[in-house]
Every structure is written in structure tokens, then in C-alpha cells.
Amino acid sequence: MLSQPDLLLCAQLCDDVADALVNQGYFCQDHALPQTLTAALLNNLQQLEEEEALQPAGIGRQQQHQLNRRIRRDKIHWLSTDDPVQATYLAWMQALQQGLNQRLFMGLFDYESHFAHYPPGAFYARHLDAFQGRSNRVLTSVYYLNQDWQEADGGELLLYTEEQSTALAEIRPEAGRLLIFLSDRFPHEVRPTQRDRYSIAGWFRINNSLNGQIDPPS
């Protein structure tokens, strides 16, 4: 549960995200969540790293490790409400989910997210998070945790429209920056990073089992 002041901040955030999604299909804003939460999330992620609780990220459900390495080199850990800091982030995203459902009738049903650590040299090649009509991931979120990110640090997220080869937006992974976009509309990539790069990637999903299919967990 969010505090009363946080609920007010969240209502404003929901308005802004809803407007941006309607107008341009994506949203990007700095200082999106309280700074204390951002710092606690970074701490939490670095702690998991020390405990060697991160795993190499996969693509799709089962892919060979070699193929993966050519496409993405980040390490991840799925967020859970068992951890109080992760639970607070998930509470924000749940409030955002409700707010967007109220404003845009999106029918968002749940949210899954993972921490990601890109060590120096890591990247994620251009990809789409969802293919039209073939995925229950409808909205992607990325929240960044890195203080004082410099241009020379690389690791930008490049956002494209389907047709374009030049990027529509180039986003530095600066702490407090929240990016939200329609998952099947924007191919994107993470340029090779020169510095340890920390983020939380997540997906708001619709429930495909409403169409008469059993919806397996991804």
C-alpha cells in the first residue's frame, strides 16, 4: 500500500502517463518515484549481486545460451513482494496499473518485472517486447537506478518506431527516470555500456485466458 502523499503523486503520474500514451505511445519522465525508493532499489539490487542471486537473462521461454549471448548480456532477478523494498516498487506499479485501467480502459491484469544488471560491455540488441496479437505483454516499463550517468558511459536505450532506422528517442539510464511504452509498437535496443548499469524492466499484461485459452506464466 502506498502512503497518502504517494497516492497523490501517483495520481499525477497516471495522468501524465495516460496523456503521453494517447499522444505518442510512450512516456519518459525524470524523478518519477521518490528518491529514497530509487536509492533503496539500487542497494537491494547490488546486495543481490553480491549474494550471486542474479542469473543470465533468457529470451523467450527456452533458448540456447550461445544465441542469448549474441542478443543480450544482462543478468536479472525477478521482483517479489517477499522483499519490502521490491514490494514498494510493485505497489507503485500496481497503482499505475489501476490508474491506467481507469483512464484508458486498458484491461491490464498483472505486472511482472525484473532487476537487470548490465556489466561493462553488456548490451541488448534491437528487439520488440511483444508481437502484435501474440503476446499478453502490452505495456513495457523501464526504471533506471544509476546516479550521474555521463554520455561517455554509453548504455543508452534507443527507441525506434517500426519503420525507422534512426532512433526516435535516446534515453540515458539516469536514476529516477521512468520509461513506459506500448510493447508491440516500439523496437528498442540497449547500446553497449561502459559502466555497471542497473535498471528494472517490467511488463503490464492482459489476461489471454479471457479468450478461452489457458494463459501460461512466462
CA distances from 136 to 14, 115, 178, 193, 218 (A): 21, 20, 21, 30, 10
Q: Which is nearer to Mn ion, 97 or 113 (CB)?
A: 113
Which option in Mn ion, ligand OGA, none does residue 183 bind, with CB closer than 5 to 8 A by kind? none
Q: Which is nearer to ligand OGA, 88 or 183 (CB)?
A: 183
Any contact of residue 201 with ligand OGA (CB under 6 A)? yes
How many CA atoms are closer than 13 Å to the CA of 131, on its beta-carbon side? 2
Q: Which is nearer to Mn ion, 129 or 184 (CB)?
A: 129
Any contact of residue 129 with Mn ion (CB under 5 A)? yes
Q: Which is nearer to ligand OGA, 9 or 128 (CB)?
A: 128
In what helix (H) or strand (E) does residue 125 lie, and over which residues does it extend? strand 124-127
d(CA 203, CA 201): 7
Decide: 157 and 171 in contact? Cβ < 8 Å.
yes
- Residues numbered 137-176 forming contacts with ligand OGA, rule: CB under 6 A: 142, 157
d(CA 150, CA 74): 20
Which option in Mn ion, ligand OGA, none does residue 32 bind, with CB closer than 5 to 8 A by kind? none
Closest approach, Cβ 23 to ligand OGA, in A, equals: 22
Any contact of residue 184 with Mn ion (CB under 5 A)? no
> For the stretch 146-184, what's the b/e string if a residue is b when 16 or more beta carbons lie within 10 angstroms of its beta carbon?
beebeeebbbbbbbbeeeeeebbbebebbbbbbbbbbbb
Binding residues for ligand OGA, rule CB under 6 A, total: 9
Applying CB under 6 A, the residues found at the interface with ligand OGA are 116, 124, 129, 142, 157, 188, 190, 199, 201
Applying CB under 5 A, the residues found at the interface with Mn ion are 129
